[in-house]
Amino acid sequence: MKIGLVNIPSKKIKGNKELLQAIKEFNDAERKRLALEAETGRPAGYVTTNYQIAKETRSGEVTREEFENQRKVLKALAETSKHLAIETKITTILERIAESVAKALGAQRANFWDFTADRKGAYIIAAYGMQSQYTLNSKKNPIALGTAWVGRAMTTGQAWSTSDLQKDPLLPKAWLSAAKKQNYRGLLCVPLEHGDEIIGGMCIYHKDEHEWQYFEYEVMTIVANQAATALMNARTFDTLEAERRKTTGIINSLQDGLVMYDNDDSIIIINPAARKLLQLEKLKLIGMNLTEETAGDNIALRNLLTIKNIQHTEYSTKEIEIKTSENITLEVTRVPVHDEKLQKIGVVQILHDTTEEREVQILKSNFVSVASHQIRTPLTGIRWAVDVLRSNEVGELTPAQQSLLEKVSVTTDHFAKLINDLLDVSRLDEGRMDYEFSVSDVTPIVQRVYHYLSPSASARSISFNFTPPKEPLRKVKIDIDKIDIAIQNIIDNAIKYSKPKVGKVDITIQVHGETLMIIVKDNGIGIPDNQKKFLFNKFFRADNAVRTVPNSSGLGLYIAKEIIEMHNGMIQFESTLGKGSTFMLQLPLTKILKSSKKKTTP
């Protein structure tokens, strides 16, 4: 190939500093070569060129022999694509590609290069026809980019070649001995490109002088594209694999148990903590679709099945007792899992062992229960004595004594209510609240509570109304006494948290579909938005409530909620600070009652 000085004013190249620099270097070398030829009158023996130049100087005609040759090369190269499909290890893929292309082009060696982390150097990642020591050494001693043909290819994104490296003045002097030792002369390097990014380089080496043809540039470019795709796939795979390992690591080191089911209900993840908690260590569980049949008599699997079948809405938490070699209490949270397109791909259950917490809770609750019982007896005595004194049975009292006794009476009532609430809470917490269900009409219960609480509404001059339903309502399956307590707590709050004289409390009963709703609406102090989420917690009282009514236990809503939930119902509320609140007690009109951890007699 005969070429002259290069002057390429193409737009793409104008902005490409590295390429312009490389072309300048090339022109300098070419000038030297021409000078040498002129001086000696003989061909100088080397040609450095690049893709652009080779394209512009290629000979138009292809001879029959060249054509045959090219056909063979392309056939051999078709083989390379097969490796991409069969092999999975990227180094092996690159080695095979290197081998195929070297053999197809009659070269002795080929290799692939990657950038160092700072992208200032390059090192060999896979090779054919090279002693492994060179490849191994390369990572430790990368070459600086720009000093050689591969560096030029990797910085300019162009292919570069030399027909005889050992004679080429562009070769850094220090490298000559290595080139001689490794015995190569003809060298062609191309960049590996992925989209707009250069991700590496590929070189092919002839032991003899070799004038690179345009066809060879083309072949190398095609092969490099294939290799770049393979390399990118491998990198993506590695990244995903690293992510997967990280996620697995996190899941495996969780203290809580975690089980994930796919949409077909098969187990796809179960972490070591879940296996340990449920004594499932030795079983093969991944892919298992857990049913009555597949669980069989295996106690551990039956426990897992019980947990899987817990009826709970998504994002909710349920407590369950499980018998393994000992009794354990688990808090099970269910979370749906979605992919990036928000398609549901399964559900996760998180198992939190609350056995110890529960034991402590029972101890505390036992203490409260014993203490409350012990206080209740003397309290009954005090109330009796106060009542006797107030009735003047044991002598006339002065007005001052009467007034003092009134105060003692109110305080004793408060105290008695607190003790009763505490006893209810400890019964609820220990599951000792016994329920006796019957199919009943709710209206008379509300009516009774209304009458019972009317005096305290009048005492505060609050407008207090109950509008009974016009038609008889469908009955519900309830424990009358417990529902009475729940309704009382809600209405009592409405009166308590309404302003004297201007306060207004309205009670109605409505039916919506299969749900019966007892609605208690007030125009009282309302609930601050930031405290709404704590409302049903034991002992919780909002700031404004504490200011308005200093003495109250903060147990009423908790008790009401627990009772209503035992009836498969729920309590909802809406409230605006300073304007008022509406509490909705909902009970299902259906006959089915949920089973529960707690002792019930539905």
Rg (alpha carbons) of the chain, rounded to whole number: 43
Structure tokens at 367: 């203490």
> 277 to each of 127, 261, 271, 352, 360, how far by Cα in Å?
51, 18, 10, 9, 20
267-270: strand order across its sheet: 267-270, 257-262, 344-353, 327-338, 317-323
Q: Which of 187, 219, 494, 566 binds ligand ADP (CB under 6 A)?
A: 494
Nearest alpha carbon to residue 488 among 513, 523, 456: 456
Tell me if 94 contacts ligand ADP by CB under 6 A. Answer: no
Nearest alpha carbon to residue 146 among 288, 328, 17: 17
Tell me if 561 contacts ligand ADP by CB under 6 A. Answer: no
Structure tokens at 188: 């062609």
Tell me if 497 contacts ligand ADP by CB under 6 A. Answer: yes
Q: Which of 493, 509, 516, 587 binds ligand ADP (CB under 6 A)?
A: 493
**Nearest approach, Cβ of residue 321 and ligand ADP (Å):** 27
Kindly tell me which of 260 and 585 has the beta carbon lying closer to ligand ADP. 585
Query: Which of the residues 527 through 546 are near ligand ADP (CB under 6 A)?
Result: 527, 535, 540-542, 545
Tell me if 168 contacts ligand ADP by CB under 6 A. Answer: no
Residue 198 near residue 156, CB atoms below 8 Å: no
Kindly tell me which of 122 and 419 has the beta carbon lying closer to ligand ADP. 419
Nearest alpha carbon to residue 552 among 485, 488, 513, 496: 496
- CA angle centred on 472, ends 470 and 475, rounded to 5°: 140
Kindly tell me which of 48 and 489 has the beta carbon lying closer to ligand ADP. 489
Kindly tell me which of 125 and 494 has the beta carbon lying closer to ligand ADP. 494
Structure tokens at 21: 């620099």
Tell me if 204 contacts ligand ADP by CB under 6 A. Answer: no
| Contact window for ligand ADP (CB under 6 A) among 398-406, 446-454, 553-561, 591-599 | 553-561
**Nearest approach, Cβ of residue 356 and ligand ADP (Å):** 27
The secondary structure of 76-133 as a DSSP string is HHHHHHHHHHH---HHHHHHHHHHHHHHHTT-SEEEEEEE-TTSSEEEEEEEESS-HH
Residue 49 near residue 22, CB atoms below 8 Å: no
Kindly tell me which of 205 and 497 has the beta carbon lying closer to ligand ADP. 497
Query: In 3-state terms, what secondary structure has residue 506?
Result: strand
Q: Which of 273, 369, 581, 588 binds ligand ADP (CB under 6 A)?
A: 581
Kindly tell me which of 153 and 555 has the beta carbon lying closer to ligand ADP. 555
Kindly tell me which of 199 and 577 has the beta carbon lying closer to ligand ADP. 577
Q: Which of 151, 257, 503, 556 binds ligand ADP (CB under 6 A)?
A: 556
Tell me if 424 contacts ligand ADP by CB under 6 A. Answer: no
**Nearest approach, Cβ of residue 525 and ligand ADP (Å):** 5
**Nearest approach, Cβ of residue 413 and ligand ADP (Å):** 14
| Contact window for ligand ADP (CB under 6 A) among 54-62, 68-76, 388-396, 518-526 | 518-526
Residue 415 near residue 379, CB atoms below 8 Å: yes
| Contact window for ligand ADP (CB under 6 A) among 18-26, 191-199, 440-448, 486-494 | 486-494
Residues in contact with ligand ADP by the rule CB under 6 A: 489, 493-494, 497, 522, 524-527, 535, 540-542, 545, 552-558, 581
